[in-house]
């Protein structure tokens, strides 16, 4: 039975002298606190602090990066616990171990192996013949107090954890954590209003009604709707939020005259808005979110360019977390111009723009960040959260934007245990990139050391206003 071996110099350059430089840079950043400014771990996990139920729920069911690749190799999502019929957790775990070969060369394997070895102290490699032994060993470990969520939070060195939250939610878990004297961490909500801004989405009217109930403001009129969104943003800020988060199909942000926005809003509530109108309203509301950011100081995170729920049958059977969202080509320069014309130089406005379209990094986004004081470049994210894409990202954006107009790493994690592994990969990749600049005599090593610590820790604290 083979063992997992984590090489201490993994992801660092192969050339010996450059590797030695990278090792010194990585050592400077390796143990810095983790600032997780964008992710999907729920606050209730830490508020309740219950032991994890089983290895399959932790490593497979909760991570769509894992389930989507297993599905790509013919595994029905229902076999992975993503349907109405839930198979036994041991069977789900066996399915992962049977298909461990599918993860060769992927970042998911980097993360999973680091979790097994460094978090759980398990080095046996997943395989069909090791599945049951691994399952039993992990199940025993999950009962240990030091592997409960709060203990892991402390052990991982997480300084701040940002969650992603519905604007109509009561943030009860956040409020409970803030008032709990036994919890010393910092968990902040993030305002995610997508379903309330797009009348083309199913359930828009019901969502607006829920927003009205949460805000205590009548949303029957456009003016009331805007006031309710502003009130909820204020509530989130009072509960510690520093960001709003916007996942749109495109980057277009185009303001409408107030009368036209009001007309479309009324038509949408009545079910009579046509697709052209709902798209115009969505683009207008992205501008309204920027205007509100100027008022309340919430950092605006924008990550467009994804076709959600690409496979309708999977969406109906397994819901929206089945891993079947697919990137789109995305244009930014013209699309963001109306928003940036209005707010791009406003002293309180800040927007962090992510992309899944690598072709736009050097052509559009880096030049935009290299001019507008308000615009920062989000880290490689989702499908680009890989060692190769991280290297390409630094090469693409540094010439035009430098290091200090980037956001620092965001993990986008759904599983708490994967957070340190993801940040470690990013710190190693940044150390490797900086080491090459040092080896080529383009940057003194003492400056590269400063940049390495800024990318790992200083930038995400400042860019997302978490300092």
- DSSP secondary structure string, 90-143? HHHHHHHHHTGGGGTTSHHHHHHHHIIIIIT---BPP-TTTHHHHHHHHHHHHT
- CA-based radius of gyration for the chain: 23
Quote the pTM value. Answer: 0.96
Q: How far apart are CA 386 and CA 392, in angstroms?
A: 10
Q: How far apart are CA 349 and CA 342, in angstroms?
A: 10
Say if CB 182 and CB 156 are below 8 A apart: no
Q: Walk me through the domains of the chain, giving residue ranges and CATH numbers.
A: 53-145 (1.10.2020.10), 149-463 (3.20.20.140)
What pLDDT does 408 receive?
Answer: 94
Average pLDDT, the chain: 96
Contacts of 219 (CB under 8 A, 6+ apart): 208, 209, 211, 212, 225, 228
Query: Each residue of 132-153: b (16+ CB within 10 Å) or e?
Result: eebbebbbebbeeeebbbbebb
- Confidence band, pLDDT 50/70/90 cuts, at residue 112: very high
Does position 410 have pLDDT exceeding 70, yes or no? yes
- Confidence band, pLDDT 50/70/90 cuts, at residue 436: very high
DSSP structure class, residue 457: I
Q: What average pLDDT does range 347-365 have in this prediction?
A: 98
What pLDDT does 319 receive?
Answer: 75
Does position 315 have pLDDT exceeding 90, yes or no? no
What pLDDT does 311 receive?
Answer: 87
For the segment 241-250, what is each residue's pLDDT rounded down to a tens digit? 999 999 999 9
What pLDDT does 321 receive?
Answer: 67
- Confidence band, pLDDT 50/70/90 cuts, at residue 64: confident
Does position 80 have pLDDT exceeding 70, yes or no? yes
Q: How far apart are CA 128 and CA 125, in angstroms?
A: 10
What pLDDT does 317 receive?
Answer: 77
Question: Contacts from 111-118 at CB under 8 Å and sequence distance 24+?
Answer: 111/418, 111/421, 111/422, 111/425, 112/59, 112/66, 112/421, 113/4, 113/6, 114/6, 114/420, 114/421, 114/424, 115/59, 115/417, 115/418, 115/421, 116/4, 117/4, 117/6, 118/6, 118/420, 118/421
Q: What average pLDDT does range 326-355 have in this prediction?
A: 97
Query: Which residue would you say has higher pLDDT here, 85 or 121?
Result: 121
Does position 175 have pLDDT exceeding 80, yes or no? yes
What pLDDT does 313 receive?
Answer: 84
- Confidence band, pLDDT 50/70/90 cuts, at residue 423: very high
Contacts of 317 (CB under 8 A, 6+ apart): 77, 78, 83, 84
Phi, psi dihedral angles at 397 (to 5 degrees): -105, -20
Q: How far is CA 262 from CA 223, 229, 318, in A?
A: 8, 15, 36
What pLDDT does 84 receive?
Answer: 86
By percentage, how much of the chain surpasses pLDDT 90? 93
What pLDDT does 14 receive?
Answer: 97
What pLDDT does 420 receive?
Answer: 97
By percentage, how much of the chain surpasses pLDDT 70? 99
Q: What average pLDDT does range 308-326 have in this prediction?
A: 80
Helix axes 16-30, 445-453, angle to 10 degrees: 40
For the segment 240-275, what is each residue's pLDDT rounded down to a tens digit? 999 999 999 999 999 999 999 999 999 999 999 999
Give the residue carrying structure tokens 């079910």. 271
Give the residue carrying structure tokens 């959260």. 385
Does position 190 have pLDDT exceeding 90, yes or no? yes
DSSP structure class, residue 79: G
What pLDDT does 255 receive?
Answer: 98
β-strands 326-327, 306-307 pairing: antiparallel
Least confident of 17-21, 134-138, 315-319: 315-319
């Amino acid at each position: 039975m083979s063992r997992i071996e984590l090489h201490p110099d993994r992801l660092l350059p192969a050339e010996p002298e450059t590797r030695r430089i990278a090792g010194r840079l990585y050592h400077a950043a390796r143990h810095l606190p983790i600032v997780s400014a964008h992710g999907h771990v729920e606050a209730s996990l830490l508020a309740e602090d219950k032991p994890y139920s089983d290895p399959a729920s932790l490593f497979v069911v909760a991570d769509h990066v894992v389930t989507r690749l297993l599905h790509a190799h013919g595994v029905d999502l229902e076999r992975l616990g993503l349907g109405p019929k839930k198979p036994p957790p041991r069977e789900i775990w066996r399915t992962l171990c049977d298909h461990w070969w599918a993860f060769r060369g992927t970042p998911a394997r980097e993360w999973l192996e680091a979790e097994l070895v460094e978090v759980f102290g398990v080095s046996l490699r997943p395989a069909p013949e090791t599945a049951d032994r691994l399952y039993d060993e992990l199940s025993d470990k999950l009962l240990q107090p030091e592997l409960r969520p709060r203990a892991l939070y402390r052990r991982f060195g997480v300084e701040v954890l940002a969650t992603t939250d519905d604007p109509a939610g009561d943030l009860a878990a956040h409020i409970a954590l803030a008032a709990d004297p036994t919890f010393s961490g910092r968990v902040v909500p993030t305002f995610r209003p997508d379903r309330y801004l797009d009348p083309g989405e199913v359930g828009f009217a019901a969502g607006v009604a829920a927003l009205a109930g949460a805000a205590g403001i009548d949303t029957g009129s456009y003016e009331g709707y805007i006031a309710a969104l502003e009130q909820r943003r204020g509530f989130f800020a009072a509960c510690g939020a520093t960001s709003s988060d916007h996942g749109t199909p495109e980057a277009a942000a185009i303001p409408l005259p107030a009368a036209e926005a009001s007309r479309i809003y009324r038509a949408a509530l009545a079910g009579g808005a046509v697709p052209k109108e709902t798209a115009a309203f969505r683009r207008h509301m992205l501008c309204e979110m920027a205007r509100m950011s100027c008022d309340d100081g919430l950092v605006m995170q924008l990550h467009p360019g994804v076709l959600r729920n690409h496979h309708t049958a999977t969406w109906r059977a397994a819901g929206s977390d089945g891993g079947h969202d697919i990137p789109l080509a995305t244009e930014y320069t013209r699309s963001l111009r109306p928003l940036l014309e209005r707010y791009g130089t406003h002293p309180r406005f800040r927007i962090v723009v992510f992309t899944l379209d690598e072709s736009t990094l050097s052509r559009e986004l880096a030049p935009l960040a290299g001019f507008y004081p308000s615009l920062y470049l989000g880290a490689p994210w989702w499908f680009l959260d890989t060692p190769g894409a991280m290297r390409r990202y630094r090469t693409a954006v540094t010439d035009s934007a430098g290091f200090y107009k980037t956001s620092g790493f965001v993990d986008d994690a759904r599983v708490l245990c994967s957070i340190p592994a993801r940040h470690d990969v990013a710190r190693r990749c940044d150390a490797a990139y900086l080491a090459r600049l040092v080896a080529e005599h383009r940057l003194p090593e003492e400056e590269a050391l400063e940049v390495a610590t800024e990318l790992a820790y200083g930038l995400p604290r400042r860019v997302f206003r978490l300092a």
